[in-house]
A and B are shown apart, each in its own frame.
Chain A
Amino acid sequence: MHIFKKSDNKRNQQRDQEAVRSPHEISDETLIASIAQGSIRAMEMLYQRYSRPLYSLAYHMVADQQIAEDLLQEAFLAVWRQAHSYSPQYGQVHSWLFSIIHHRAIDYLRASRRHPINKSVPLDEVDRDESTFSPDAWDTVWLSLRRAQVRAALLALRKEQRLVIELAFFQGWTHTEIAEACQIPLGTVKARMRLGLIHLKRMLEHQGMDPQE
């Protein structure tokens, strides 16, 4: 009996050692749960995984490096302080993270009453940026594949639907402001937003991408 107990202990130790996997194998949900318990290491991993795409969104919206970095820092501090409030019923972790920084960027844009005009970045410049700056080759590849699919679907939308989506999501305009600026009825703006998102979802599903993944 004593011999079997010893074997069990040895197996348990081995199992504990093997349970520590490489960072790539740890799910976002596990990281958030660890952060909620005060794990700075988990916070480092989450930052490594998402700082670039979150910063990219903020920078694209506010067009200012310093402001975008401040927003990034605020967003991750909010994650550190409110990790316990995250629940899978709100959506996936990456959706939650994007919503945190997106709302902060919108608040900034509306508070400053700025609507920056985004210059379009030629595709070859985009590729050059990614290959120069990415610290993680796989993240670049994965995001590039994803980006190409979603961008193609967005460009395939009717231009009036794409316009209202871009003005709202990336420029922080309210639907009322869009209606006034574009001289179109408010109801039309709302309908274009809703239908544009439905069409975007259907196009991506048709390509085999599950938008909820």
Chain B
Amino acid sequence: MHCQEFETLAGAYVLGALSPEERQEADAHLAQCPDCQRMLRELQSAADLLPFTVPGVEPSAQVHDRLFAAIRAEASPVAVSDTPRIPERRPHQRSWWHYWQTRMALAAAVLFFLLSGAMVAWNVSLQQRIAQLSAPGASPVVVPIHGTDLAAGASGQIIYLPRLNMTLLVVHGLPSLEGVQVYQGWAIENGHPRSIGLLQIQDGVATLSAPGDLRRAGMIAVSREPGPQASQAAPKGPVVAVGTPPH
């Protein structure tokens, strides 16, 4: 098989639509052609998302029981059954001056948000303030955030400040909270949520600041949590706003 022939088959290959003989021939070509491997990876990445389009259905508990009975029967007596450990990350070291400089700049930014008037004036002032805080050549990066069906009128921005290495989340139009409910921000990385804190609400504007560049997350989400404290490992409530930083 040559490359042109493989290219015509590549779509059928990733969809599993080749006969066993054709697949064997294609695999033999792939084993020695890095260009075709690269091309295949591009198509495979799209095909890998197709399983996400089907409706979700839960298997019965009996499947789990049968499976793990079989696994335990196969496992050796000395099999490790501890919780997997992950390398501990060292916290980033910052100087005290940088710490206070960051906090003072943040306090100035948040204070300015709270004192803003109408939504248009607020937006213009925000952009001006961010430009002042940012060094020349390190402009803030803004990503839109949109309300989900539960908060269709909500919208806002994810604002990364390169000089401060800080991300601001600003959302307006979120529905009013009841009781001790809170809005909480999440960075979604590889499908796993990580809390970035509770949003503070003033005059109908919800804000949150978090260290680092949250644009690296696949998605930023805001959920409505039962409160009063932040939820720990994952949202317990519905997602009301989502922003998808471009890569």
Contacts and interface: CB of A to CB of B under 8 A. Distances in A.
Interface of A: 15-16, 18-28, 30-31, 33-34, 37-45, 47, 51-57, 59-60, 65, 68-69, 72-73, 76-77, 80-81, 91-92, 94-95, 98, 102-103, 106, 121, 125-126, 129-130, 133-138, 140-143, 145-147, 150-151, 154, 165, 168-170, 172-176, 178, 187, 189-198, 200-201, 204, 207-213
B152 to A, nearest CB: 14
A18 B91 CA distance: 13
Interface in B178-215: 188, 190-194
B119 to A, nearest CB: 25
Contacts of B72: 40
A178 B55 contact: no
Q: Is the interface of A mostly helix, strand, loop or mixed?
A: helix
Interface of B: 7-12, 14-19, 41-60, 62-64, 66-68, 70-72, 74-76, 78-88, 188, 190-194, 218-219, 221, 223, 232-239, 242, 244-247
* The 6 residue pairs across chains A and B that have the minimum distance between CB atoms: A193-B11, A194-B11, A138-B234, A208-B244, A38-B79, A133-B58
Contacts of B83: 20, 41
Of A57, A130, A213, most buried by chain B (CB within 10 Å of CB) is A213
A52 B55 contact: no
A98 B10 CA distance: 18
A174 B19 contact: yes
B86 A143 contact: no
Nearest to A47: B64
A190 B56 contact: no
A15 B188 contact: no
A38 B81 CA distance: 7
B8 A56 contact: no
Given A170-B50, A194-B8, 4 more contacts: A20-B83, A34-B80, A133-B56, A134-B58
Nearest to B189: A213
B244 A129 contact: no
B191 A134 contact: no
Contacts of B58: 52, 55, 133-135
A103 B16 contact: yes
A209 B247 CA distance: 8
A26 B19 contact: no
B42 A201 contact: yes
Nearest to A106: B16
Contacts of B84: 26, 30-31, 33-34, 39, 41-42, 45
A143 B56 contact: yes
